[in-house]
Amino acid sequence: MNPPRVQLSHLDNLWFQVTGTLCNLACTHCFNGSGPGVRTFDFLSPADVRRELGHAARLGVREIFFTGGEPFLHPALLEMLADSLRVAPVTVLTNATLLPERIAVRLAEIERASSYSLEIRVSLDSPNETANDAIRGAGVFSRVLASIERLCRHGLLPLVTVVRNWPLEDEPEILASFTRLLSDRAGYHRPRLKFLPALPLGRELVRIGALHDEPFVTEEMLGGFDSDLLMCSNSRVVTDRGVWVCPLLVEMPDARLGSHLADAAPSYALRHRACYTCYEFGVFCSNVSPAIEGATPPAAPGEP
Amino acid sequence: MRRLAIFGGIYSNHLALAAALADVARRNVDAIYCLGDLGAFGPAPDRVFPLLRDSGVVTIQGNYDNSLALGLPDCQCGYTDPRDNSFARLSYDYTFRRTSPKNKAWLATLPASLHLEIEDLRVALFHGSPRKMNEFLWESACSDAFLEYLLDFARADVLCVTHTGIKWHRALPSGRHVVNVGALGRPENDGGTNVWYALLTFANRFLSVEFIPVVYDYHALAAEMQGEHLPDEFIETILTGWWTTCLEILPHKERARGRF
């Protein structure tokens, strides 16, 4: 059976895989296998970024995202963020272990200088230090909380993103624990939290094993489905090795669509298990994502 | 010269709507437009309908109106956070129960958009965005390039929307305009208790946009909301001007300006 094809309806989200797959951490669930010394993909230069920004602006791009690897390993990241903020709102996805005072100050200056929002998305995996560091590495928990404190002190409100690794019924309790932790340890009293699904890709796939048949997206499933909820209908990723269809599939050779945005193929066939994850949860790579049905809402402030 | 008054997001705030209409009546406007979302948040949803009809307000459908008209199970507000969705549900269930069948049938007759030609400019009115009724167009989250694309998409020189509840206007490099007219239903998360509408003046292909603050008896609205047992969080917003719900959808700049 042929996998269904999805057209790019509009380039809402342009991603730069700015440090390739180079990261200072090696998280056990990393979906693109990033880590120390991993050079599957390499750095983009500020000139690469400026060239693609120009093309993306002509296409009507809505938002820019910086990911990796760890973007703050790039010595010219701040320059590229400022360049991008002249074109569109920007989000940078970071593990927040490389954000000393000097960088936090500069980020806040860059944010204030733009009329567009700069979102700092910080990854954390558990409100419990031991559980978090088992996934992300020893000592990471404390360093991240210190970074969040610095960002907040300079007027930035980071989006704390967490890969959901608990049963849905535990969600209100987990949310309350994160809220307490961020307030007590980072002085972040109105935390912005975003929960993400785990992806059956990269090291996570090795970790969970391919033991059961995951469903794939079929033509029938797309009947009556709002394809705008799929990343491939509204996003593209620029890497040093060309343009990929979405940030999840950068390790898949078939997901490379061209050398530059200008010559990238306009459609993609949904061949992967991750495509089903995207179908199931919808646009979760963006800063806002649909709420999960069945998750009980937590108590509002002031409620018992 | 032609002058339009445009507002949206009434959210059952009939007191603010009456105050806005009284203000508009003093300003010599040629037409009044409402960009939808008549219900939600506030009390006694049926009260806004006669006000709109008696003043000849030309109204388009918002997502709330679309849901009420079609009897859908939720408001299609586009929130993404469980707490925000829980408040949206309370509000929608109340509004659905208290909107008369006659008014729901009227909502079903409203168009989803309007295209006007004013002083040689093409003006498009939508609730959320030209491509989706419930798409949020926040000032700090929309690039110039994206807004130019939306204007092309709508085949317009001037695009007017609401849905977010916070007003803004941008004159683009192409000379075209996007105006988010804000909302009459609740204050815009700046600590002020007033609400806003937009006045668009067209003269010789030139557009000027003015946002008009509307002061109304918000204590009376809060008392009505209490009487209807609407959530304390909603009443707090009316009394303080700070949003207490629907916060997770806000981009960084809009969120940082608020208190919560």
Q: Closest partner residue to A116 among B140, B150, B249, by Cβ?
A: B140
Distance of CA A298 to the CA centre of its chain: 24
Q: What is the pLDDT of residue A209?
A: 64
Please judge whether B142 and A118 are an interchain contact, meaning their C-beta atoms are less than 8 angstroms apart: no
When pLDDT is averaged across residues B36-63 and rounded to a whole number, the result is 98
Reported as a single tens digit per residue, the pLDDT across B64-91 is: 999 999 999 999 988 877 888 899 999 9
Q: What is the pLDDT of residue B235?
A: 98
Q: Which of A82-86, A207-211, B81-85, B94-98 has the lowest mean pLDDT?
A: A207-211
Q: Closest partner residue to B253 among A12, A117, A291, by Cβ?
A: A117
Residue of B nearest to A172 (CA): B82
Q: Crossing angle for the helix pair B14-25 and B218-227, nearest 10 degrees? A: 150
- Asked whether B233 and B87 are in contact (CB, 8 A), the reply is yes
When pLDDT is averaged across residues A4-21 and rounded to a whole number, the result is 96
- Structure confidence at residue A293 as a pLDDT band (50, 70, 90): very low
Q: Which of A1-15, A73-87, B45-59, B97-111 has the lowest mean pLDDT?
A: A1-15
Rounded Cα gap, residues B21 and A155, in angstroms: 39
Q: What is the pLDDT of residue A301?
A: 34
- Name the pairing type of β-strands B195-203 and B206-214: antiparallel
Whether residue B145 lies within 8 A of chain A, CB to CB, comes out as yes
A203 has a pLDDT exceeding 80: no
Whether residue B249 lies within 8 A of chain A, CB to CB, comes out as yes
Take residue B206 and report the two structure tokens written for it: 């030139």
Residues of chain A with pLDDT > 70, as a percent, come to: 88
CB < 8 Å from A in window 225-244 of B: 232-233, 244
Please judge whether A300 and B83 are an interchain contact, meaning their C-beta atoms are less than 8 angstroms apart: yes
Q: Closest partner residue to B141 among A10, A117, A298, by Cβ?
A: A117
Take residue B29 and report the two structure tokens written for it: 């406007």
Q: Phi, psi at residue A125, to the nearest 5°?
A: -120, -15
Q: Chain B residues with CB inside 8 Å of A286's CB?
A: none
Please judge whether A290 and B148 are an interchain contact, meaning their C-beta atoms are less than 8 angstroms apart: no
Residue of B nearest to A56 (CA): B145
Reported as a single tens digit per residue, the pLDDT across B181-201 is: 999 999 999 999 999 999 999
Q: What is the pLDDT of residue A168?
A: 81
Take residue B149 and report the two structure tokens written for it: 């694309």
When pLDDT is averaged across residues B34-54 and rounded to a whole number, the result is 98
Q: What is the pLDDT of residue B156?
A: 98
Whether residue A52 lies within 8 A of chain B, CB to CB, comes out as no
Whether residue A192 lies within 8 A of chain B, CB to CB, comes out as yes
Domains of chain A as residue ranges with CATH: 5-281 (3.20.20.70)
A160 has a pLDDT exceeding 50: yes
Q: A198-235: b or e for each residue (b if 16 or more CB lie within 10 Å)? A: ebbbbbbbeeeeeeeeeebbeeeebeeeeebbbbbbbb
Give ipTM to 2 decimals.
0.95
Q: Closest partner residue to A60 among B148, B247, B256, by Cβ?
A: B148
Q: Chain A residues with CB inside 8 Å of B131's CB?
A: 10
- Structure confidence at residue A215 as a pLDDT band (50, 70, 90): confident
Rounded Cα gap, residues A248 and A231, in angstroms: 9
Burial of B68 (0-12, 13-18, 19+ CB in 10 A): buried
CA–CA min distance B259, chain A (Å): 9
Domains contained in chain B, number: 1
Take residue A190 and report the two structure tokens written for it: 């109105």
When pLDDT is averaged across residues A211-227 and rounded to a whole number, the result is 80
Whether residue A294 lies within 8 A of chain B, CB to CB, comes out as no
When pLDDT is averaged across residues A86-91 and rounded to a whole number, the result is 98
Please judge whether B143 and A58 are an interchain contact, meaning their C-beta atoms are less than 8 angstroms apart: no
Reported as a single tens digit per residue, the pLDDT across A258-288 is: 999 999 999 999 998 888 888 887 656 777 6
Cβ atoms < 10 Å from Cβ of A63: 27
Distance of CA B104 to the CA centre of its chain: 18
- Structure confidence at residue A211 as a pLDDT band (50, 70, 90): very low
Q: What is the pLDDT of residue A296?
A: 34
Whether residue B146 lies within 8 A of chain A, CB to CB, comes out as yes
Rounded Cα gap, residues A184 and A79, in angstroms: 33
Would you give the DSSP letter of residue A93?
A: E
Sheet with B2-7, strands from edge to edge, namely B58-59, B31-34, B2-7, B195-203, B206-214
Reported as a single tens digit per residue, the pLDDT across B135-186 is: 999 999 999 999 999 999 999 999 999 999 999 999 999 999 999 999 999 9
Give strand pairing partners of A160. A122, A193
| Chosen from B63, B74, B77, B81 to mutate, greatest number of chain A CBs within 10 A | B81
Q: Closest partner residue to B82 among A58, A88, A297, by Cβ?
A: A297
Whether residue A115 lies within 8 A of chain B, CB to CB, comes out as yes
Identify how many contiguous H helices and E strands chain A contains and give both numbers.
9, 11
Please judge whether A300 and B245 are an interchain contact, meaning their C-beta atoms are less than 8 angstroms apart: yes
- Name the pairing type of β-strands B177-180 and B168-171: antiparallel
Domain residues for B29?
2-257
Q: Show Cβ contacts of residue B50 under 8 Å, excluding neighbours closer than 6 positions.
A: none
How far lies A283's CA from each of A23, A227, A300, B257, in Å?
24, 10, 26, 26
Residues of chain A with pLDDT > 90, as a percent, come to: 71
A134 has a pLDDT exceeding 70: yes
Whether residue A54 lies within 8 A of chain B, CB to CB, comes out as no
Rounded Cα gap, residues B162 and B197, in angstroms: 10
Q: What is the mean pLDDT of chain A?
A: 89
Q: What is the pLDDT of residue A227?
A: 86
Rounded Cα gap, residues A65 and A81, in angstroms: 9
- Asked whether A90 and A118 are in contact (CB, 8 A), the reply is yes
A142 has a pLDDT exceeding 80: yes
CA–CA min distance B183, chain A (Å): 22
Q: What is the pLDDT of residue B11?
A: 98
3-state secondary structure of B245: coil
Q: What is the pLDDT of residue A214?
A: 64
Q: Chain A residues with CB inside 8 Å of B244's CB?
A: 300-301
A242 has a pLDDT exceeding 70: yes
Q: What is the pLDDT of residue A205?
A: 66
- Output the domain CATH number for residue B55: 3.60.21.10
Q: Chain A residues with CB inside 8 Å of B128's CB?
A: none
Burial of B99 (0-12, 13-18, 19+ CB in 10 A): buried
